[in-house]
């Protein structure tokens, strides 16, 4: 084979054939075709400078340069050395001054100064004449005493959550990506943290935190941390709000759970967890936990862990007590019908004689119907009312006897 990679080897030598004499003195058509076929194969493998063909495989340049490239205009174009440096931001950081809310940078990392050294100035447009589609820039303020406001949607800047970003310090940075028309925010420094919104048009789960850890350790954990440099008493730590629209289409918080820093003193910190609900158009505190539960606006605050301090009453099924009126019904009628559905009515045996009561108390050191079984506040309150009703009946009986003796 005459053509082999980058080397062409002649198949025949006309001089050698001529010197050999005989039939070799004449041009052989078959040899000519063979030789010119090799020329054809070699020429077809060439990359033409007029761009009429293209490579069919990767090309090694033998450690040589490609020089005098044109400026790229599309993301698929080859980049020149200075454009690679520009994209990577390896030029020294420069400052560009605003003019009519517009800057025209010529490198990827730069600082922005206000027009005429104003205390604050807006950036509506970052001219992209020096950048190709897909370019990335990092911007910051040039002077800590002059605020630079990166305006969302006014010109060609698109920020997260459609919000303006104010650069108040030289250490605050924002990174943008150029999509060919607008600069889209990619990242911002921690001191410029933004809120994030996840939107769905259907009901159901929007966000799930999933842990596949198989140990007994806690997880997944959701942490709401306020990293304040100067924590102080009464600082709000964070809230979980439940919002919806009202009849006027206004976003309204209907309920909220939050926390308050009560005491930030190291090793003796105190905190509070509160619940608020919307009542008659006003977000109202229903209660809070802080060394005990406080309901409403009770005076005296919390009374200690495990206690309840309520501003109002406590109800069970719309009543503070079950009201065991079956005691009185049984005494006067000898049976319970009207209040038969009351809790405890089916077990009530009636008033026992005073002598029997005395014997019971003497033996048990407690009133009948009071035992060691655990009972809630409402059950104990009902028992106390039952005994008050029985004591009232005893008093009435004694009053009757006294009258009889007086007669």
Q: Does pLDDT of 189 surpass 60?
A: yes
Of 3-7, 48-52, 307-311, the poorest mean pLDDT is in: 3-7
Of residues 30 and 319, the one with the higher pLDDT is 30
Residue 205 lies in a domain: no
The contacts of residue 133 (CB under 8 Å, 6+ apart) are 74, 75, 178, 179, 180
Residue 216 lies in a domain: no
Cα–Cα distance list, 257 to 9, 53, 195, 225, 282 (Å): 86, 69, 18, 15, 15
Of residues 122 and 204, the one with the higher pLDDT is 122
Of 60-74, 104-118, 257-271, 290-304, the poorest mean pLDDT is in: 60-74
* Whether 18 and 97 share a structural domain: no
Q: Is the peptide bond before 220 cis (omega within 30 degrees of 0)?
A: yes
Per DSSP, 267 falls in state: T
* Whether 298 and 359 share a structural domain: no
Identify the burial level of 308 via C-beta atoms within 10 angstroms of its C-beta, where 0-12 means exposed, 13-18 middle and 19 or more buried. middle
Q: Give the model's pLDDT for residue 3.
A: 60
Examine the fold and report which residue of 252, 280, 310 is the final residue of a domain before the chain moves on.
310
Q: Does pLDDT of 316 surpass 80?
A: no
Of 45-49, 83-87, 380-384, the poorest mean pLDDT is in: 83-87
Q: Are 176 and 155 in contact (CB under 8 A)?
A: no
Residue 93 lies in a domain: yes
* Whether 331 and 306 share a structural domain: no
Closest CA to 253 of 265, 264, 241, 262: 241
Residue 223 lies in a domain: no
* Whether 332 and 378 share a structural domain: yes
Residue 206 lies in a domain: no
Q: Does pLDDT of 332 surpass 80?
A: yes
Q: Give the model's pLDDT for residue 98.
A: 96
* Whether 306 and 336 share a structural domain: no
Q: Does pLDDT of 91 surpass 60?
A: no
Q: In terms of residue numbers, what domain contains 246?
A: 235-310
What is the tens place of the pLDDT at every residue in 256-272?
999 999 999 999 999 99
Q: Give the model's pLDDT for residue 221.
A: 92
Q: Does pLDDT of 88 surpass 60?
A: no
Per DSSP, 53 falls in state: S
* Whether 275 and 334 share a structural domain: no
Q: Give the model's pLDDT for residue 314.
A: 81
Average pLDDT taken over every residue of the chain:
87
| CA quadruple 89, 95, 97, 103: dihedral, nearest 10 | 0
* Whether 287 and 333 share a structural domain: no
Q: How confident is the model at residue 313 (pLDDT cuts 50, 70, 90)?
A: confident
* Whether 91 and 186 share a structural domain: yes
Q: How confident is the model at residue 92 (pLDDT cuts 50, 70, 90)?
A: low
Q: Give the model's pLDDT for residue 9.
A: 74
Q: Does pLDDT of 89 surpass 60?
A: no
* Whether 184 and 137 share a structural domain: yes
Q: Does pLDDT of 375 surpass 60?
A: yes
**How many domains would you assign to the chain?**
4
Residue 58 lies in a domain: no
Residue 394 half-sphere exposure toward CB, CA atoms < 13 A: 15
DSSP H or E run through 179: none
Residue 316 lies in a domain: no
What is the tens place of the pLDDT at every residue in 239-250?
999 999 999 999
* Whether 171 and 104 share a structural domain: yes
* Whether 102 and 187 share a structural domain: yes
Return d(Cα 278, Cα 295) in angstroms, integer. 16
Structural tokens at position 126: 């970052």
Q: Tell me if residue 17 falls in helix, strand or coil.
A: helix
Q: Does pLDDT of 312 surpass 80?
A: yes
* Whether 17 and 113 share a structural domain: no
Q: Give the model's pLDDT for residue 62.
A: 86
Examine the fold and report which residue of 138, 165, 192 is the final residue of a domain before the chain moves on.
192
Residue 199 lies in a domain: no
């Amino acid at each position: 084979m005459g053509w082999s990679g980058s080397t062409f080897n002649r198949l025949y030598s006309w001089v050698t054939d001529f010197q050999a004499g005989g039939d070799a003195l004449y041009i052989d058509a078959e040899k000519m075709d063979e030789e010119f076929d090799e020329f054809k194969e070699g020429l077809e493998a060439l990359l033409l400078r007029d761009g009429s063909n293209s490579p069919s495989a990767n090309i090694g340049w033998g450690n040589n340069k490609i020089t005098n490239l044109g400026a790229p205009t599309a993301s698929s174009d080859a980049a020149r050395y200075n454009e690679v440096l520009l994209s990577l931001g390896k030029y020294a950081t420069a400052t560009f001054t605003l003019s009519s809310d517009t800057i025209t940078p010529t490198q990827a990392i730069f600082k922005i100064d206000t027009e005429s050294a104003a205390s604050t100035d807006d950036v509506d447009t970052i001219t992209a004449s020096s950048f190709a589609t897909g370019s990335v820039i990092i911007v910051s303020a040039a002077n800590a005493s002059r605020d630079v406001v990166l305006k969302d949607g006014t010109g060609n800047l698109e920020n997260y959550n459609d919000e303006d970003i104010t650069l108040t310090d030289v250490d605050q940075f924002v990174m943008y990506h150029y999509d060919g028309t607008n600069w889209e925010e990619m990242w911002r420094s921690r001191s410029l943290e933004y809120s994030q919104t996840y939107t769905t048009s259907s009901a159901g789960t929007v966000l799930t935190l999933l842990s596949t850890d198989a140990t007994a350790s806690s997880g997944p954990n959701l942490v709401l941390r306020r990293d304040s440099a100067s924590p102080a008493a009464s600082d709000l730590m964070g809230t979980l709000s439940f919002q919806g629209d009202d009849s006027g289409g206004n976003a309204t918080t209907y309920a909220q759970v939050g926390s308050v820093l009560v005491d930030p003193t190291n090793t003796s910190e105190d905190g509070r967890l509160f619940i608020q609900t919307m009542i008659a158009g006003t977000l109202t505190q229903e209660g809070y936990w802080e060394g005990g539960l406080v309901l409403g606006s009770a005076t005296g605050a919390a009374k200690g862990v495990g206690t309840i301090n309520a501003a109002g009453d406590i109800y069970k099924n719309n009543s503070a007590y079950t009201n065991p009126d079956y005691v009185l019904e049984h005494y006067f009628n000898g049976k319970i019908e009207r209040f038969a559905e009351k809790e405890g009515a089916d077990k009530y045996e009636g008033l026992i004689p005073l002598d029997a009561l005395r014997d019971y108390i003497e033996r048990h050191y407690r009133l009948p119907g009071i035992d060691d079984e655990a009972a809630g506040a409402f059950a104990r309150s009902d028992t106390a009312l039952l005994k008050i009703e029985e004591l009232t009946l005893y008093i009435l009986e004694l009053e009757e006897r006294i009258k009889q003796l007086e007669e």
